[in-house]
Chain A
Amino acid sequence: MAQSSQATGGLKSIPALLQRNAAQFADKDAYREKEFGIWQTWTWAMTENEIEALALGLINLGVKEGDFVAIVGRNRPYFYWAMVAAQSVGAVPVPVYNDSAAEEMEYILGHCGAKYAIVEDQEQVDKIIEIQEKLHTFEHMVYIDPRGLRKYDHRQLHEFSHIQAQGRAAHDELIGELKSRREKLDYDSTCVMLYTSGTTGKPKGVVLSNRNVIESSKNSADFDALTGDEEILSYLPMAWVGDFIFSVGQAYWCGFCVNCPESAETMMTDLREIGPTYYFAPPRIFETSLTSVMIRMEDSGDLKYALFHHFMDFAKTAGEKYGMPKRSLAKPDMKRRIKNGWRYAMGLGFAMETLVENGIRMAFTKLRHGSKAREHFKAKDPILLNLYRGSLRDYFKYRMGNVLVYGPLKDTLGFGRVRVGYTAGEAIGPEIFEFYRSLGINLKQLYGQTEATVFITAQPDGEVRADTVGVPSPDVEIKIADNGEIFYRSPGTFVEYYNNPESTASTKDAEGWVATGDAGFFEEKSGHLRIIDRAKDVGKMADGSMFAPKYVENKLKFYPDILEAVLFGNGKDRCVAFINIDLTAVGNWAERNNIAYASYQELAGHPKVLDSIQQHVEAVNRSVADDPMLAGCQIHRFLVLHKELDADDGEMTRTRKVRRVIVADKFKDLVAGLYDGASTVSTTTEVTYEDGRKGSISATLDLRDAQVAPVASKMAAE
Chain B
Amino acid sequence: MSNDSYVTDDGRTIGPTVMEMKNITLRFGGVKAITDISFDIREGEIRAIIGPNGAGKSSMLNVISGFYVPQEGEVWYKGAKRPPMKPYQVAEQGIARTFQNIALFEGMTVLDNVMTGRLRQMKANMFEQAIWKGKAEREEVENREVVEKIIDFLEIQAIRKTPVGRLPYGLKKRVELARALAAEPSILLLDEPMAGMNVEEKEDMSRFILDMNDEFGTTIALIEHDMGVVMDLSDRVVVMDYGKKIGDGTPDEVRNNQDVIDAYLGVAHD
Which A residues have a C-beta under 8 Å from some C-beta of B?
35-38, 147-148, 150-151, 262-263, 265-266, 269, 689-691
Contacts and interface: CB of A to CB of B under 8 A. Distances in A.
B151 interface: yes
A121 to B, nearest CB: 11
Given A36-B152, A263-B158, A266-B158, A150 B145 contact: no
B198 to A, nearest CB: 11
Interface string B130-156: 000000000000001100110111010
Nearest to A265: B158
B172 interface: no
Interface of B: 10-12, 144-145, 148-149, 151-153, 155, 157-158, 160-161, 200, 203, 207, 210-211, 214-215
Contacts of A269: 158, 161
Which of A36, A38, A689 has most B Cβ within 10 Å?
A36
Nearest to A151: B11
Nearest to A152: B11
Given A35-B152, A150-B214, A262-B157, 16 more contacts: A36-B145, A36-B151, A37-B144, A37-B151, A37-B157, A37-B160, A147-B211, A148-B210, A148-B214, A148-B215, A151-B10, A151-B11, A151-B12, A265-B158, A269-B158, A689-B200
B214 A263 contact: no
Contacts of A36: 145, 148-149, 151-152
What are the 4 closest A-B residue pairs judged by CB atoms, nearest first? A265-B158, A36-B148, A151-B11, A266-B158
Contacts of B11: 151
A147 B215 contact: yes
Contacts of A689: 200
Contacts of B155: 263
Contacts of A262: 157-158
B156 to A, nearest CB: 9
A350 B11 CA distance: 73
Contacts, number: 39
Nearest to B144: A37
A272 to B, nearest CB: 12
A75 B211 CA distance: 24
B157 A266 contact: yes
A151 B11 CA distance: 7
Contacts of A691: 203
B151 A148 contact: no
Contacts of B207: 148
Contacts of B210: 148
A129 to B, nearest CB: 15
A273 to B, nearest CB: 12
A35 to B, nearest CB: 7
Contacts of A147: 153, 211, 215
18 contacts: A35-B152, A36-B148, A37-B151, A37-B157, A37-B160, A148-B207, A148-B210, A150-B214, A151-B10, A151-B12, A151-B214, A262-B157, A262-B158, A263-B155, A265-B157, A266-B158, A689-B200, A690-B200
B146 to A, nearest CB: 10
A689 B198 CA distance: 13
B217 to A, nearest CB: 11
B158 A148 contact: no
Contacts of B158: 262-263, 265-266, 269
A265 B145 CA distance: 21
B174 to A, nearest CB: 13
A265 B161 CA distance: 13
Nearest to A123: B207
Contacts of B161: 269
B114 to A, nearest CB: 11
B147 to A, nearest CB: 9
A369 B139 CA distance: 70
Contacts of A37: 144, 148, 151, 157, 160
A269 B159 CA distance: 10
Nearest to B207: A148
A35 B145 CA distance: 11
A351 B94 CA distance: 61
A265 B144 CA distance: 21
Given A151-B10, A689-B200, A263 B157 contact: yes
B12 to A, nearest CB: 8
Nearest to B111: A37
A214 to B, nearest CB: 35
A266 B158 CA distance: 5
A496 B55 CA distance: 69
Contacts of A265: 157-158
Nearest to B210: A148
Contacts of A35: 152
Contacts of A148: 207, 210-211, 214-215
Nearest to A262: B157
Contacts of B214: 148, 150-151
A164 to B, nearest CB: 21
A37 B150 CA distance: 11
A261 to B, nearest CB: 9
A266 B155 CA distance: 11
A133 to B, nearest CB: 21
Nearest to A263: B157
A396 B215 CA distance: 60
A250 to B, nearest CB: 28
Contacts of B215: 147-148
Nearest to A267: B158
B225 to A, nearest CB: 22
Nearest to A150: B214
Contacts of B148: 36-38
B228 to A, nearest CB: 14
A690 B207 CA distance: 15
A134 B10 CA distance: 25
A263 B152 CA distance: 10
A64 to B, nearest CB: 34
A689 B200 CA distance: 9
A37 B146 CA distance: 11
Nearest to B199: A689
Nearest to A35: B152
A38 B161 CA distance: 14
Nearest to B211: A148
Contacts of A690: 200
A488 B153 CA distance: 48
A548 to B, nearest CB: 39
B145 to A, nearest CB: 7
Contacts of B10: 151
A382 B161 CA distance: 38
